[in-house]
Amino acid sequence: MNELLKVRNLSVNYIIDRGVIRAVENVSFAINKGEKICLVGESGSGKSTVALALMKLLPKNAIIKSGEIIFKGTDLLTLNEDKMRQIRGKEIAIVFQNPLTSLNPLLTIGVQNSEPFEEHLKMEKKDAIQKAINMLKKVKLTDADKAVYRYPHTFSGGMRQRILIAMMLSLQPELLIADEPFSALDVSLQVELMHLLNELVKDFNSSLLFITHDLGVAAELCDRIIVMYAGKIVEEATVFDLFEKPKHPYAQGLLQSLPTIEKLNKRLVTLPGSPPSLLDPPKGCRFHPRCPYAMDICKKEEPQLIEIEPTHKVACWLYKSDTHETN
């Protein structure tokens, strides 16, 4: 079995003054070695929370209510902070949104990008900077030899994201989480960086968990797509399956809302309504208030994620599992 990461029944709550936000509920998925997976969903669907939970970097008001995150055989949730630190940056790395504020303005690129080498491999400063230069060359930063002596403000947003990608991939982590890394960049840069990321991940034989709300990017980059809605996984399928035969009404709606060549003269279909408040999510299926096929059972009972084909899972009462439930 080449399963690298397995998340089982992960639930995360945020405690705020007005109550408890059930941001992520019973999320289960697995990532194989070398696989590229996309987590798609709209804002507030819990994508980033899943990413932060995997790194155990959730904010202080978040609690992991239940679940397991099994990475290479050990449950990360049982590890203490010290052990977790040895995994962060070395075995699991993460690239966040908005590269503009992500580098310390007072330190040179060299100092910041050599940190992983110094911290995890206990390298000398000089060697670490040399390694950092090599990494910067790999992300095709122009003039990498001199760039290490420059400060962050002298780089553009795209360059900074390259620098950050280089920093996080320094130690060839087995899993790279990318949390909407290109959303602050313009489209041409997005494509360029996406191909770069793709190449690097392939070179390093890393797995990728790519978080985005852009289905186009997801289709281009990933092997499998997980669709999240209101803190739950509603559908999980290979890219081709999802785009050709989406099962869940939400996924169908999402795909219909994409502009395509065939639909040039028509108005885009939109999903009515907006996502529910997670302070008080609707009973039963969380999508039922917006679902065109809503049935009685949808309002009462939550559907489980079931396997309808070997590589296709969906959580919807419209589909019956004839064989077995997952997990």
Partner 1 sequence: MISVRKIFATIMRKDITFQSLETVNLWKYIITQLLRNKKGITSLGIISVLALIGIFAEFIAPYPYDAQDLQNMLRPPSIGHIFGTDALGRDVLSRIIYGARITIFIGFAITFLTAILGIMLGLIAGYFGGVIDMIISKIIEIFWAFPIIVIALGLTVVLGPGIRNVILVLGILLWVPFAKVIRTKTLVIRENSFVKYAKAIGLPSIKIIIKHIFLNVVPDIIVLFALTIPDAIISSAALSFLGLGVQPPTPEWGAILSDGRLYLMIAPWISVFPGIFLLILALSFNILGDVLRDVLDPFMRGRK
Q: Which residues bind partner 1 (CB under 8 A)?
A: 55, 57, 60, 85-90, 93-94, 96, 98, 101-108, 112, 115-116, 119-120, 149-151, 153-154, 164, 167-168
**CB of residue 297 to partner 1, shortest distance in Å:** 42
95 vs 215, which CB is nearer to partner 1? 95
**CB of residue 106 to partner 1, shortest distance in Å:** 5
Rounded distance between C-alpha atoms, residue 207 and residue 215, angstroms: 19
Rounded distance between C-alpha atoms, residue 311 and residue 306, angstroms: 11
151 vs 243, which CB is nearer to partner 1? 151
Rounded to 5 degrees, φ, ψ at 218 are -60, -45
**CB of residue 311 to partner 1, shortest distance in Å:** 31
**CB of residue 27 to partner 1, shortest distance in Å:** 21
Query: Which residue's structure tokens are 């990461």?
Result: 5
149 vs 240, which CB is nearer to partner 1? 149
111 vs 314, which CB is nearer to partner 1? 111
121 vs 187, which CB is nearer to partner 1? 121
12 vs 251, which CB is nearer to partner 1? 12
What strands, in cross-sheet order, belong to the sheet with 232-238? 92-95, 175-179, 207-212, 36-40, 224-229, 232-238, 312-314, 306-309
Rounded distance between C-alpha atoms, residue 115 and residue 125, angstroms: 9
**CB of residue 102 to partner 1, shortest distance in Å:** 4
**CB of residue 16 to partner 1, shortest distance in Å:** 16
39 vs 167, which CB is nearer to partner 1? 167
Q: Is 62 helix (H, G, I), strand (E, B) or coil?
A: strand
Shortest CA distance to 102 belongs to which of 144, 163, 50?
163
**CB of residue 40 to partner 1, shortest distance in Å:** 22
68 vs 119, which CB is nearer to partner 1? 119
CA distances 135 to 38, 51, 138, 147, 280, Å, are 25, 24, 5, 12, 46
103 vs 306, which CB is nearer to partner 1? 103
Rounded distance between C-alpha atoms, residue 314 and residue 306, angstroms: 6
Secondary structure string (H, E, C) spanning 65-77: EEEEEEECCEEHH
**CB of residue 317 to partner 1, shortest distance in Å:** 39
**CB of residue 166 to partner 1, shortest distance in Å:** 12
The alpha helices in the chain, defined as continuous H runs, are: 47-55, 81-87, 109-113, 115-121, 125-138, 144-147, 157-169, 187-204, 215-221, 239-244, 249-256, 296-300
Residue 260: exposure state from Cβ atoms within 10 A (0-12, 13-18, ≥19): exposed
